[in-house]
Amino acid sequence: MTKSELIARLAERLNERGTPLAARDCEFAVKTLLDAMTEALGHRHRIEIRGFGTFSLSYRPARVGRNPKSGAQVRVPEKRVPHFKPGKDLRERVDLPSE
């Protein structure tokens, strides 16, 4: 699912509930949520959404890698990367057999 599909789905679900919201308002809501999550991870905070999962940062230490084309050694600096751990409800819903 892309961000634009998520926005369209949100607008559709709100319209079904009798709460019409313009697509640009839904886009603003989605962008605000994603920006807040990005900012929280940028400040090295953990994000927990019950029933969905947890976003956190993983630390990768510096290492020596290889350039696959030339085989030369390359120093890869340390970095922090986002990590997602799905919640129990999400794991169970995804693991259901196809009908």
- Kindly list the distances between the CA atom of residue 74 and the CA atoms of 2, 20, 60, 61, 66, in Å, as whole numbers in the listed order: 35, 54, 16, 14, 5
Collapsed DSSP state (helix, strand, coil) of residue 25: helix
User: Residue 22 has what pLDDT?
Assistant: 85
Instruction: Tell me how far apart the alpha carbons of residues 40 and 5 are, in angstroms, rounded to a whole number.
Output: 24
Q: Return the H-helix or E-strand segment holding 60.
A: strand 53-60
Strand arrangement, sheet containing 53-60: 47-49, 53-60, 79-86
- Predicted TM-score (pTM) of the model is 0.77
Q: Report the C-alpha gap between 45 and 80 in whole angstroms.
A: 12
Write the pLDDT tens digit of every residue in 8-46: 999 999 888 888 888 899 999 999 999 999 999 999 999
- Report the Cα 40 to chain-centroid distance in Å: 12
